[in-house]
A and B are shown apart, each in its own frame.
Chain A
Amino acid sequence: MRQVQPRQNHLGISGWIWAGNYKLERYLYILHRVTGLGILLFLLLHLTMTTVFRIQGQDIWEATMSILHNPWFKIGEYLVVVALVYHSLNGLRLILQELGFLMGKPTPPIYPYRDSLRKKRPWTMAIIGIILILCLVFFYDFVTGGW
């Protein structure tokens, strides 16, 4: 008897950059993971700076700060802020969905179907909008604050 093979949804490592047949949410998931790893890298640098360099006194601290005021570090700092904003707000969306919010009330499967993906999509777009607005606000501050 012919056996029906289950559909292979596992994209492996390539799924980190390519979402296959999945939709927008899969790219948000990839970006969530990439920003998380980026923030972890920044955290290690930040902890080194605020412990090893801070405890050595004023001269080392001020020398470190002057290096961090370099425009290239400022650009990196802005990217970290963008990653934090994205990771926080997308994480909030994921928590709300996991707890059953933003999914809409259950409805009977009568055509035209309205599945949970379609119900939560407007909230997803709203969160993306808030992320973009906050990124622009931080960008304005970085530009006017002096690079």
Chain B
Amino acid sequence: MRNTYLWFIQLVTGVLIAVLAGIHMVLMHLDAILGFFGVDATGITSWESMIQRSNQGIWASLYIALLAVVLYHALNGLRNIILEMTPSARTERIITRTIVAFGIIAFVWSAYVPISLLSA
């Protein structure tokens, strides 16, 4: 039953990532085509532009939300691939705990940076 819930969250996070990462990708990479539609996205990776976004709570919240769903989707996907090799129950526990620990550390560290940059 637990794996059913984990799989359902995998589907939900997949849809959320497709929307949030899709917006992120279009803004970061489609500057020529966005320019054609009158949206100026040039210099979006410059320090000034990045700090300007970092100072806004809405962008920090969006980045942290994207971070949470991406980390869950990626690490649960990796766990599923490894567990498909049908390791022993003990190995499965070790793999799950290692991936959960890595996910928590990556989330705390990666969420700390946008929060600390809010007042930069």
Q: Interface of A with B (CB < 8 Å)?
A: 33, 36-37, 39-40, 43, 47, 50-51, 54-55, 58, 61-62, 65, 77, 81, 84, 88, 91-92, 95, 98, 137-138, 140-142, 144-145
User: Shortest beta-carbon distance, B42 to chain A, in Å?
Assistant: 9
- Contact among A36, A54, A84, A91 with B25 in the assembled complex (CB-CB below 8 Å): A84
Q: Give the CA-CA distance A138 to B83 in the complex, in Å.
A: 35
Inter-chain contact B18/A91, CB cutoff 8 Å: yes
**What are the residues of chain A within 8 A of B110 when measuring CB–CB?**
47, 50-51
**What are the residues of chain B within 8 A of A58 when measuring CB–CB?**
47
Q: Give the CA-CA distance A61 to B50 in the complex, in Å.
A: 10
Inter-chain contact A141/B31, CB cutoff 8 Å: yes
Majority-rule SS of B interface residues: helix
Which of chain B's residues 20-67 have a Cβ closer than 8 Å to chain A?
Answer: 21-22, 25, 29-33, 45-47, 50, 67
Given contacts A40-B78, A51-B113, A65-B46, 4 further A-B pairs with CB under 8 A are A55-B113, A77-B29, A95-B15, A140-B32
**What are the residues of chain A within 8 A of B29 when measuring CB–CB?**
77, 81, 138, 141-142, 145
Q: Give the CA-CA distance A65 to B78 in the complex, in Å.
A: 29
- Contact among A37, A91, A141 with B33 in the assembled complex (CB-CB below 8 Å): A141
**What are the residues of chain B within 8 A of A88 when measuring CB–CB?**
14, 17-18, 21-22
- Contact among A92, A142, A145 with B18 in the assembled complex (CB-CB below 8 Å): A92
Q: Give the CA-CA distance A142 to B21 in the complex, in Å.
A: 18
Majority-rule SS of A interface residues: helix
Q: Give the CA-CA distance A50 to B50 in the complex, in Å.
A: 10
**What are the residues of chain A within 8 A of B117 when measuring CB–CB?**
54-55
Residue of A nearest to B51 (CB): A58
Which of chain B's residues 61-120 have a Cβ closer than 8 Å to chain A?
Answer: 67, 70, 74, 77-78, 81, 106, 109-110, 112-113, 116-117
B11 sits at the interface (CB 8 A): yes
**What are the residues of chain B within 8 A of A95 when measuring CB–CB?**
11, 14-15
- Contact among A36, A55, A62 with B77 in the assembled complex (CB-CB below 8 Å): A36
Indicate whether A55 sits within 8 Å of B116 (C-beta atoms), given known contacts A140-B33, A141-B31: yes
User: Shortest beta-carbon distance, B72 to chain A, in Å?
Assistant: 12
Residue of B nearest to A92 (CB): B18
